[in-house]
A and B are shown apart, each in its own frame.
Chain A
Amino acid sequence: MKGLILKDGFTLMKQAKLFLVMILIFSIVPVYGSATAMFTVVFAAKLSITSMSYDERSKWNTLAAMMPYSDTALVLSKYLLAYICILAASVLSVVGGVIRAIATGGVLEGEFLIYVVSAVCLAALMVALVFAFIFRFGVEKGRLAYLASIVLVMVIGGGATQFLPKLTGIESISAAAVVIILAAFTIVVSATSIALSVKFYKKNRL
């Protein structure tokens, strides 16, 4: 699978460099605050969709089917790439937050870290929703799913903080608890998405 990740890495090199510069600028500029973290992480998830677009254009999967890779490995590599991008973006966001805190003479607040973890979960949720769609219908339609997933994920994110206390019956639920529930939800949705994507991938090569 390392070869597949490497191939995507080479494919995304140009976009990744541009992305890196953008993240660092936005992370350090104080005016955008914690919203940058959300933007950064969600945008990172989009990079892996770009790699799928390159694959589709070159019909890479036709060649990959001739190589010693299983269908599961081919699908998993895309999820793994997305998680690597999300993780890298979240680390950069935290680094940006630290630099910003030092520059302004403050400290990195715990709330900011919770915000970054939430962003990671929401980006992973987007990946889960979009990837299954792409493996079933292709990248072009997947882009529409990406836009739809942004709205959906925002609704889920907002809903989690608004309605979770009512649903659970607990009056004041802590932000940390919301994040833990969100993370658990993300893991379940992601596992389902991976299983569905493998199934769609196998079906598409019939």
Chain B
Amino acid sequence: MNAIEINSLCKSYKDFELKDITFSLPQGSIIGLVGENGAGKSTTIKLIMDAIERDSGTVTVLGTDNKSPQFKSVKEDIGVVLDEAYYPEVLTAKNVGAVMKNTYKNWNAEQYDALIKLFNLPTDKQFKDFSRGMTMKLAIAVALSHAPKLLILDEATSGLDPMIRDEILDIFNDFTRDETHSILLSSHIVSDLEKICDYIAFIHKGRLLFCEEKDVLLNEYAILKLTKAEFEAVPQRAVKGVKKSDYGVEVLVQKSAGSKAFKAEHTTLEEIILFLAKGDDAK
């Protein structure tokens, strides 16, 4: 079963359009939703959670259409962390625990307390005095404490220092050890996604440029560093992105469609995304 299935999802605003988004997240996997700020990642997440109205398309989460009346109870099984915590500033971690206990049927107070302790969060300090790291840790503690089957994380690691990010990514990795657990992780920090994701969906200016297994992407694409003359000999169907400078040409090629005559260098997810985004902009 797929934890999330999105088909031809569209949503338009006056100055932005999310167009024809289609991808799915197989159960037990982690998908990384990557894209620049304002690409449409948060809009996609809000549409998945039915927090905003879509124009067209379908969304199924944990086997339930998100427009059906049953979706409210499915939300019990979804842990969400947004880019901010959005709790009223006068609340404390203790208050948040009490509120969530009366919000989620499966709330596990012991687990919440254990996570608060693990994250070294103060229980009686008002939320307004929390640092961004503390804020995100609190939101993650909440998301993990009601026995979720699916975690939806919107820029949950942005603005955190590398130590905390690493710590949090480990927690997410542990979460998917249970094969019924899945994660959708939206971020513009590609290195985070490369670390833990099984699938990568790249949204650029409201359109899905690709959704592919991370390992397939890394095997399929390569960087060629060529002279201008050498570049002319590369089959154009294999060229997916080009960066020209006075010293030569850097080319992102799709290995399966390209020539084996040139020595291709291993590429990173970040390079693939940058090349593809620039290639799309140039169109």
Report the separation of the CA atoms of residues A88 and B84 in the bound assembly, to the nearest whole angstrom: 34
Say how far A181's CB is from chain B's closest CB, in angstroms. 38
* Interface residue ranges of A8-31 to B (CB < 8 Å): 10-11, 13-14
Q: Which residue of B lies closest to A58 (CB)?
A: B88
For the complex, is B89 an interface residue (Cβ under 8 Å from A)?
yes
Give the residues in chain B near A59, CB-CB below 8 Å. 84, 86
How far apart are the CA atoms of A10 and B82 in the complex, in Å? 22
Contact B89 A58 (CB under 8 A): yes
Q: State whether B103 touches A67 (Cβ < 8 A).
A: yes
Bound-state CA distance A113–B89 (Å) is 39
The segment from B92-100, B113-121, B202-210, B241-249 found at the interface with A is B92-100
A66 lies within 8 A of B98 (CB)? no
- The stretch from B49-57, B155-163, B184-192 touching chain A is B49-57
Supposing A68-B76, A206-B53 touch, asked if A11 and B103 sit within 8 A by C-beta, the answer is no
Contacts of A3 in B (CB 8 A): 99-103
Q: Which residues of B contact A13 (CB under 8 A)?
A: 90
Asked if A54 and B49 make an inter-chain contact with CB atoms under 8 angstroms apart, the answer reads no
Q: Which residues of B contact A4 (CB under 8 A)?
A: 99, 103
B80 surroundings in chain A (CB, below 8 A) = 63, 66
| Cα distance A68–B105 in the bound complex, in angstroms | 10
- Give every chain A residue within 8 A of B72 (Cβ-Cβ): 68-70
**Contacting residues, chain B, for A69 (C-beta < 8 A):** 72, 103
- How many A residues face the partner with a CB closer than 8 A? 25
The answer to whether B76 and A63 touch across the interface, beta carbons within 8 angstroms, is no
Contact indicator per residue, chain A 34-69, by CB within 8 Å of chain B (1) or not (0) = 000000000000000000001101111011011111
Verify A68–B52 contact, CB threshold 8 A: no
Instruction: Name the residue of chain A whose CB is nearest to the CB of B78.
Output: A66
User: Which one of A4, A62, A70 has the greatest number of beta carbons of chain B within 10 Å?
Assistant: A62
**Bound complex: CA A4 to CA B37 (Å):** 32
A4 to B101, CA, bound (A): 11
A7 part of interface (Cβ distance < 8 Å): yes
Q: Is the CB of B82 within 8 A of A63?
A: yes
The chain A residue sitting closest to B75, CB to CB, is A68
What residues of chain A lie closer than 8 Å to B262, measured between beta carbons? none
Interchain CB contact (< 8 A) of A205 among B52, B78, B100: B52
Question: Do the beta carbons of B52 and A54 come within 8 Å of each other?
Answer: no
List residues of chain A with CB within 8 A of the CB of B255.
Answer: none
Contact in complex: A2, B102 (CB < 8 Å): yes
Q: Complex Cα distance A65/B45, Å?
A: 11
A6 located at the interface, meaning its Cβ lies under 8 Å from any Cβ of chain B in the complex: yes
Please name all residues of chain B whose beta carbon is closer than 8 Å to the beta carbon of A14 when the two chains form the complex.
90
Nearest CB of chain B from residue A191's CB, rounded to whole Å: 23
Q: How far is the CA of A206 from the CA of B51 in the complex (A)?
A: 8
Report whether A68 and B84 are in contact in the complex, using a CB–CB cutoff of 8 Å: no
B85 touches A63 (CB 8 A): yes
Q: Is B49 a contact partner of A10 (Cβ separation < 8 A)?
A: no
B219 within 8 A of A: no
Across the interface, A62 reaches (CB within 8 A) one of B51, B88, B99, namely B51
CA–CA, A60 and B99, complex, Å: 13
Interface contact A6-B102, CB-CB below 8 Å: yes
Bound Cα distance from A3 to B97, whole angstroms: 10
A10 to B92 CA separation, bound complex (whole angstroms): 9
Q: Is B104 an interface residue (CB 8 A)?
A: yes
Provide the bound-state CA to CA distance between A54 and B126, in Å: 14
Q: Which of chain A's residues have a CB closer than 8 A to the CB of B46? A: 65
Q: A67-B103, A68-B103 are in contact. List 13 more A-B contacts (CB 8 A).
A: A3-B100, A7-B95, A7-B99, A14-B90, A57-B88, A57-B89, A58-B89, A59-B86, A60-B86, A63-B80, A63-B87, A66-B152, A206-B53
Could you list some 14 contacts between A and B, CB below 8 A? A4-B99, A6-B99, A7-B91, A10-B90, A14-B90, A59-B84, A62-B51, A63-B80, A63-B86, A65-B46, A68-B75, A70-B72, A205-B51, A206-B52
